[in-house]
A and B are shown apart, each in its own frame.
Chain A
Amino acid sequence: MSLEYYLILSALLFTTGVIGVLIRRNAIIIFMCIELMLNAANLAFVAISRSLGEATGQVFVFFVMTVAAAEVAIGLAIIVSVFKHRQTVNVDEVNSLKG
């Protein structure tokens, strides 16, 4: 399989994530879509790493995963605390900066 097919797949996955962020209003699902986009980027990294024949791309995937894990932990904590205050996870209803 040549590199292009992997990159096309990666682009499609990324786009799906973008559409998800745009059309869904549930904060948790928006979060999942962000994960999807990060994963699409990971796929491109690994594909290019294979194509270049070296492991650097995979090291970057490692970093991306670390950042994703940190981001999910904090993001979900924020969602939980927003839910405690507002009883909602709809991003449209969470529109004021004051708690």
Chain B
Amino acid sequence: MNAEQILFILFGAVSLIGAIAVISFRHPIYSALSLIVTFFAQAGLFILLGAHFVAAVQVIVYAGAIMVLFLFVIMLLNLGTLSVKGALGGKLKGFAIILGILFAAEGIYIAVNSLNDTAVASAESTAAAVTTTTYDIGELLFSKYLLPFEVTSLILLAALIGVIVLVKRDSQEES
């Protein structure tokens, strides 16, 4: 086993355990923390894959901003004391898990078998251990994918306005 395999197993295991913890903890705060652990492990996987920029952005955006928002809302609504009944429940729980396992099996089957005759698999042999620099991503982002990039800014703007409208309307109704 070389270093990359050991690290892959480590990060992969941590991210899977974190993901399972997200859906099994009763308390939302612990779920959120498990999710942060998962995100960190994924950032580690991204570094293993040579995607340093994506790893840094993963930590900045997910761990630094999105999860703080989650924690903020959980704390603000004080959900700890207000236990959600049947948090792990429903009659369909067993059914859901069986469905999930089938789904996972399907995903793994596709991952293992269907790659053979695609372009991805044929390119695999030539791919060296390349690191993608920020420069490469920037160049693609501002040339080939310029239009999508601009559209994402519109999405963010729409989200911004949407959130303000949602919160403002609520407070107007109250007063």
Contacts and interface: CB of A to CB of B under 8 A. Distances in A.
Q: Do chains A and B touch in the complex (CB under 8 A)?
A: yes
Chain A: interface secondary structure?
helix
B159 interface: yes
A25 to B, nearest CB: 6
By size class, the interface of chain A is: 35 or more
Given A28-B74, A58-B137, A22 B92 contact: yes
Contacts of B137: 55, 58-59, 62
A50 B51 contact: yes
Chain B: interface secondary structure?
helix
Given A25-B87, A53-B127, A81-B170, A36 B19 contact: yes
A59 to B, nearest CB: 5
A81 B23 contact: no
A29 B28 contact: yes
Interface string A58-99: 110111011111111110111111011001111010000000
Nearest to A16: B19
Contacts of B136: 55
A74 B155 contact: no
Interface string B138-170: 001100010011001001101110110011011
Interface in B55-88: 57-58, 61-62, 65-66, 69-70, 73-74, 76-77, 79, 82, 84-88
Contact of A29 (B31, B97, B132): B31
11 contacts: A1-B5, A18-B100, A24-B87, A28-B31, A50-B127, A51-B120, A69-B156, A73-B162, A78-B166, A84-B170, A89-B79
Interface of A: 1-20, 22-26, 28-29, 31-33, 35-36, 39, 42-43, 46-53, 55-56, 58-59, 61-63, 65-74, 76-81, 83-84, 87-90, 92
Interface of B: 4-5, 8, 12, 15-16, 19-20, 22-23, 28, 31-32, 35, 38-39, 42, 45-46, 48-51, 53-54, 57-58, 61-62, 65-66, 69-70, 73-74, 76-77, 79, 82, 84-90, 92-93, 96-97, 99-101, 103-104, 107-108, 110-112, 115, 119-121, 123-124, 126-128, 130, 132, 136-137, 140-141, 145, 148-149, 152, 155-156, 158-160, 162-163, 166-167, 169-170, 174
